Amino acid sequence: MQKEEQKKKFKVTVITPEQKVFESIADFISIPAKSGSMGILPGHLPVIAQLKIGILKVVNDGQQTYIGVCRGHFEYFGMLARVLTERAIITEYALRQKTIEELEKKHDITQEITEETRKVIQAIASLKNLRG
């Protein structure tokens, strides 16, 4: 009986380049796909989806976990759901909006930083070339 119940579940992993943030089995997950929220139940068709900034909801035995994710990709294939994202924060139901705002804010800052760094690096490189 217990084995049959386990068969209806699937494994979820949330991975960022820096670390594995979350790993568990689940009955249901809801992902923030680019074109809207998408629900995944065991036995769903294989899916590859692009993610936007949003909240990933994982339900296991009635217990809900909320994880803020910042862009990335999602793949569901053969009872394994893999979320590959830039940043992930485990949060609570009440703090979902705050988490999204934080992720959006950080995302904007990093975009700005990379743009600024690129300009500074290019300027330094051209100055060095001139000196050389």
Q: Which positions from 25 to 54 touch another protein by CB under 8 A, shown as an x/- string?
A: --------xxx--x------xxxxxx----
Q: Of 41, 123, 125, 127, which one interacts with another protein (CB under 8 A)?
A: 125
Report in angstroms how near the CB of residue 38 gets to another protein at its nearest.
Answer: 7
Only one of the segments 1-9, 15-23, 56-64, 92-100 lies at the binding site for another protein (rule: CB under 8 A); that segment is: 15-23
36/62 with CB nearer another protein: 36
Count CB atoms within 10 A of the CB of residue 43: 9
Which residue, chain included where needed, has tokens 């084995």?
3
90 binds another protein (CB under 8 A): no
5 binds another protein (CB under 8 A): no
What does the DSSP 8-state code read for residue 44?
P
Please state, in angstroms and rounded to a whole number, the distance separating the CA atoms of residues 122 and 100: 33
Where do the DSSP E strands lie in the chain? 10-15, 20-26, 28-33, 36-40, 47-51, 54-60, 63-70, 72-77, 80-84, 87-91
Q: What are the tokens at 33?
A: 């796909």
15 binds another protein (CB under 8 A): yes
Report in angstroms how near the CB of residue 128 gets to another protein at its nearest.
Answer: 7
Please state, in angstroms and rounded to a whole number, the distance separating the CA atoms of residues 129 and 42: 58
* Chain residues that interact with another protein, rule: CB under 8 A: 13, 15-20, 33-35, 38, 45-50, 73, 75, 77-78, 82, 84, 86, 110, 113-114, 117-118, 121-122, 125, 128-129, 132
